Amino acid sequence: MSDLIERSADILATARYAVALTGAGISVESGIPPFRGPGGLWEKIDPMKYAHIDAFLDDPETVWNVLIKNMKTVLDTAQPNPGHIALVDLERLGILKTVITQNVDGLHQMAGNGDVLEFHGNFAWQSCLDCSRRIETALVDLTRIPPRCSCGGILRPDCVFFGEMIPHEALIRSQHVSASCDAMLVIGTSAMVQPAATMPFIAKDNGAVIIEINPEPTPLTSRISDLPLLGDAGSIMPRLVKAIRRRIPPPSQPITPPPMTKHRKAHDTIA
Ligand code: APR
């Protein structure tokens, strides 16, 4: 693993334009379960019955009770973990330009990343099906399910349900930065859901080096990953940042003029 981390650090330390694609795995160490694999949400509930737009429009009360209320409970208290923090460090080092995330938890922004493309929306907001008014999730009154807007309309989370389109700007910009990058970190995604899973292929086709971080191999690992780092983001990402810092010369110290001496004072005045 250390060798792979060192080689990944070589790539990132000299990258002209690095981006990251993240999935549920980067938030697992923040207490948010993934969707697939051991302990995955879709292992417990059928996503087509509870996370598809048709299911929501057919029976919003059930979808609120089974899925959305539980998501709120988990997301209300979630905090960024070392994996998120490391991406902020990479941004501050001038290496990471953009984060494309499939997550709706807002933890990248909470950690401090500036340019975050929310491919599947954000759970921090709800919208009214009737008047489209947006309300902060934290302010939604959950004593009545499904919760209602002041106009009486039913509220829905500003997340992308199965069967819905990806927000246009997020899609176009994600395709653009994927085609522009020379290194892509793919962190904590099973790469099973389109079109997000296409981004690493767009990057690869444009010559980018793919660095994958995931405790399990994914469909990308044997096909396009140049550096598969098999492990948890929360432990690997800080090690990667440390290795990169060893390769970046410390910022040059500002030159402080020597303290004014009697001789110098005399000299300066003459001038
Ligand atoms: N660090 C890194 N990766 C992890 C960790 C960890 N600590 N723990 C688990 N993983 C990996 C798993 O091995 C898995 O490959 O994270 C991945 C999570 O995969 P999914 O649960 O499928 O999540 P994701 O790829 O983000 O799903 C995509 O599907 O259900 C929809 O809209 C939902 O955005 C989601 C999309």
Q: Which comes out higher in pLDDT, residue 194 or 263?
A: 194
| Alpha carbon nearest to ligand 1 atom 28, residue | 193
pLDDT at residue 134 above 70?
yes
Distance 207 CA to ligand 1 centre (A): 25
pLDDT at 198: 98
256: helix, coil or strand? Answer: coil
120 is catalytic: yes
Give yes or no for residue 216 CB within 6 A of ligand 1: yes
pLDDT at 271: 43
Distance 130 CA to ligand 1 centre (A): 33
pLDDT at residue 238 above 50?
yes
pLDDT at residue 268 above 60?
no
Q: From the candidates 52, 84, 108, 120, which is the catalytic residue? A: 120
Angle at 100 between CA 92 and CA 183, to 5 degrees: 65
- Confidence class for position 258, pLDDT limits 50, 70, 90: confident
Question: Tokens at residue 238, please?
Answer: 């800080």
Question: Tokens at residue 194, please?
Answer: 């389109």
Q: How far apart are CA 132 and CA 168, in angstroms?
A: 17
Q: How far apart are CA 182 and CA 209, in angstroms?
A: 6
Q: How far apart are CA 190 and CA 197, in angstroms?
A: 8
pLDDT tens profile 37-76: 989 999 999 999 999 999 999 999 999 999 999 999 999 9
Give yes or no for residue 230 CB within 6 A of ligand 1: no
Give yes or no for residue 43 CB within 6 A of ligand 1: no
Give yes or no for residue 109 CB within 6 A of ligand 1: no
Q: What sign results for the dihedral spanned by CA atoms 21, 25, 30, 36?
A: positive
- Which distant-in-sequence residues (6+ apart) come within 8 Å of 1 by Cβ? 229, 230, 231, 236
pLDDT tens profile 158-179: 999 999 999 999 999 999 999 9
Q: What sign results for the dihedral spanned by CA atoms 173, 178, 180, 182?
A: positive
Provide the percentage of residues in the chain whose pLDDT is more than 70: 93
Question: Tokens at residue 6, please?
Answer: 């060192």
- Confidence class for position 191, pLDDT limits 50, 70, 90: very high
Q: Which residues of 63-82 are buried (b: 16+ CB within 10 A; e: fewer)?
A: bbebbbeebbebbeeeebbb
Residue that is written with structure tokens 């810092």 in the block? 245
| Least confident window among 33-42, 112-121, 158-167, 261-270 | 261-270
pTM: 0.92
